């Protein structure tokens, strides 16, 4: 095991930090961001890093953060403005990892599942993040058949709209110590079902967020018989989405101010409507149509905000790209426009570029 450390003093009352000792490992930069001290240090493959804090140079023993060398070599720790603090960074070989929180999962295992496990939290090992009946520790420690603690198990649920349609949905609620988390609603394109969003919903679920993908009325398991006139009818499909938002807000774990809607085609149109009218925090609209958005909203004076607009360049002879651009130009920031190659419609564009779902998750992380 290789352990190299440096100790530094942060003095808030007397002035800037002073360097106390260097033991072969260098901290490149120190900066202040409000009450946060940011330490930047070099990293090497095959190692991870433990940051300690203390109130005396001979007692720097409080472990406050861990990072993997594969992650950005820059960490941040909280410090108290009323007193001086001392820090040191310890470099540890990956194959000699500690179990810092003594939960029987070593630091590397926990750092490799950052949205599920915290190497400084002993309690999360006994949680069942994906609700499959096995704790995180049981899944990772099974020598014969280890499994993924973040592989979502969705619950089939039903709720009713204001106009008495039964809507069937797949709900994912991660088990974690977080008490107020974002939620993301997924809406499929016409003629499809909620299943088209399952793989993306699993990515979002892994972030520790609640997910809900529903079948639009007249599709999948939801009640009703779909009519093409509903693509532009403000008294039909929008009620499904409003009911889904009400359902999510009733879940105690959900932060009602951080709800996003992700949709394709008619789902993308509804995502835009939700951005303007339903008080959601963020949206992703794929293969949407300007006139349908306004028709579903029942009005044209809409204030769009925080939408990631996405279309393929040649979908419907290039019209979908033009509509995405029109709606992007009417959107207040934050906003994003992406036109991909090909003529794919809705989630089929993922086949040409499988990295798009990751960019969707990245957008949600930035805006929720």
> What's the chain's length in residues?
368
Q: Which domain holds residue 77?
A: 6-96
pLDDT value of position 31? 75
pLDDT value of position 12? 34
At 299, is the secondary structure helix, strand, or coil? coil
Q: Is residue 118 part of a domain?
A: no
Do 90 and 219 have their domain in common? no
Do 78 and 217 have their domain in common? no
In the predicted model, what is the mean pLDDT of residues 76-104? Answer: 82
Q: Is residue 343 part of a domain?
A: yes
Q: Is residue 327 part of a domain?
A: yes
Give 294's pLDDT tier (boundaries 50, 70, 90).
Answer: very high
Do 85 and 217 have their domain in common? no
In the predicted model, what is the mean pLDDT of residues 349-363? Answer: 97
The domain boundary residue, chosen from 75, 96, 117: 96
**pLDDT, tens digit, 9 for 90 and up, residues 117-163:** 999 999 999 999 999 999 999 999 988 888 999 999 999 999 999 99
Do 57 and 165 have their domain in common? no
Strand partners, 88: 7, 52
Q: 14 pLDDT exceeds 80?
A: no
Q: How is residue 151 written in tokens?
A: 């592989």
Q: 249 pLDDT exceeds 80?
A: yes
Integer Cα distance of 29 and 9 in angstroms: 13
Integer Cα distance of 49 and 230 in angstroms: 56
Q: How is residue 333 written in tokens?
A: 């920031």
Q: Is residue 17 part of a domain?
A: yes
Across the chain, mean pLDDT equals: 89
Chain position carrying tokens 């594969």: 70
First vs last Cα of the chain: how many Å apart?
40
**pLDDT, tens digit, 9 for 90 and up, residues 298-342:** 999 999 999 999 999 999 999 999 999 999 999 999 999 999 999
In the predicted model, what is the mean pLDDT of residues 258-275? Answer: 98
At 176, is the secondary structure helix, strand, or coil? coil
Q: 24 pLDDT exceeds 60?
A: no
Do 313 and 168 have their domain in common? yes
Q: 86 pLDDT exceeds 90?
A: no
pTM of the model: 0.86
DSSP string computed for 267-334: HHHHHHHHHHHS--SEEEEES--HHHHHHHHT-S---EEEEEEEEETTGGGGHHHHHHHHHHHTEEEE
Chain position carrying tokens 């800037």: 16
Q: Determine contact, residues 312/347, Cβ cutoff 8 Å.
A: no
Number of domains in the chain: 2
DSSP 239: H
Q: Is residue 127 part of a domain?
A: no
Do 92 and 239 have their domain in common? no
pLDDT value of position 146? 84
Range with the poorest average pLDDT among 4-8, 127-131, 246-250, 312-316: 4-8
Do 18 and 165 have their domain in common? no
Q: Determine contact, residues 303/276, Cβ cutoff 8 Å.
A: yes
Give 9's pLDDT tier (boundaries 50, 70, 90).
Answer: very low
Q: Determine contact, residues 302/234, Cβ cutoff 8 Å.
A: no
In the predicted model, what is the mean pLDDT of residues 78-106? Answer: 84
Give 70's pLDDT tier (boundaries 50, 70, 90).
Answer: low
Q: How is residue 158 written in tokens?
A: 């039903």
Q: Is residue 13 part of a domain?
A: yes
Q: Determine contact, residues 217/203, Cβ cutoff 8 Å.
A: no
pLDDT value of position 69? 74
Better-predicted residue by pLDDT, 81 or 241: 241
The domain boundary residue, chosen from 81, 96, 111: 96
- Pairing relationship of beta strands 210-214 and 254-264 according to DSSP bridges: unpaired
DSSP 150: T
Q: Is residue 286 part of a domain?
A: yes
Do 210 and 311 have their domain in common? yes
Q: 3 pLDDT exceeds 50?
A: no
> Could you tell me the CATH number of the domain that includes residue 62?
2.60.40
**pLDDT, tens digit, 9 for 90 and up, residues 162-204:** 999 999 999 999 998 888 999 999 999 999 999 999 999 999 9
> Could you tell me the CATH number of the domain that includes residue 333?
3.40.50.1820
CA–chain centroid gap for 80, Å, is: 29
pLDDT value of position 18? 35
Q: Is residue 133 part of a domain?
A: no
Do 84 and 220 have their domain in common? no
pLDDT value of position 174? 95
Do 215 and 87 have their domain in common? no
Do 176 and 312 have their domain in common? yes
pLDDT value of position 83? 66
**pLDDT, tens digit, 9 for 90 and up, residues 29-64:** 777 777 777 777 878 888 898 988 888 888 888 999
Do 67 and 166 have their domain in common? no
pLDDT value of position 90? 87
Integer Cα distance of 223 and 7 in angstroms: 65
The domain boundary residue, chosen from 96, 112, 127: 96
Percent of the chain with pLDDT over 70: 89
What's the count of helices (H) and strands (E) in the chain, helices before strands?
9, 16
DSSP 231: G
């Amino acid at each position: 095991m290789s352990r190299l450390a440096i100790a530094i003093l942060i003095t808030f009352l007397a002035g800037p930090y002073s360097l106390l000792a260097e033991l072969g490992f260098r901290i490149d930069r120190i900066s202040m961001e409000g009450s946060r001290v940011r330490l930047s240090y070099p990293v090497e493959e095959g190692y991870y890093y433990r940051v300690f804090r203390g109130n005396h140079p001979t007692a720097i023993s409080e472990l406050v953060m861990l990072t993997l060398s594969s992650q950005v070599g820059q960490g941040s720790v909280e410090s108290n403005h009323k007193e001086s603090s001392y820090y040191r960074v310890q470099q540890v070989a990956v194959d000699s990892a500690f179990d810092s929180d003594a939960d029987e999962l070593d630091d590397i295992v926990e750092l490799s599942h950052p949205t599920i496990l915290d190497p400084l939290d002993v309690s999360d090992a006994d949680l069942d993040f994906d609700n499959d009946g096995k704790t995180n520790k049981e899944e990772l420690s099974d020598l014969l058949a280890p499994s993924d603690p973040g592989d979502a198990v969705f619950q089939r649920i039903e709720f009713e709209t204001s106009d008495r349609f039964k809507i069937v949905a797949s709900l994912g609620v991660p088990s974690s110590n977080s008490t107020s988390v974002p939620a993301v609603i997924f809406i499929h394109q016409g003629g499809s079902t909620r299943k088209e969003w399952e793989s993306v919903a699993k990515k979002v679920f892994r972030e520790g967020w609640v997910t809900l993908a529903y079948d639009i009325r007249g599709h999948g398991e939801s009640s009703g018989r779909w009519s093409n006139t509903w693509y532009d009818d403000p008294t039909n499909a929008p009620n499904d989405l409003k009911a889904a938002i009400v359902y999510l807000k009733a879940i105690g774990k959900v932060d009602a101010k951080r709800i996003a809607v992700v949709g394709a085609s008619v789902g993308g149109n509804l995502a835009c409507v939700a951005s303007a009218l339903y008080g959601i925090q963020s949206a992703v609209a794929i293969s949407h149509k300007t006139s349908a958005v306004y028709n579903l909203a029942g009005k044209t004076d809409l204030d769009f905000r925080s939408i990631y607009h996405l279309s393929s360049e040649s979908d419907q002879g290039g019209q979908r790209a033009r509509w995405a651009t029109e709606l992007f130009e009417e959107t207040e920031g934050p906003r994003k426009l992406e036109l991909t190659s090909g003529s794919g419609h809705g989630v089929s564009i993922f086949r040409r570029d499988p990295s798009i779902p990751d960019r969707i998750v990245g957008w949600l992380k930035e805006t929720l």
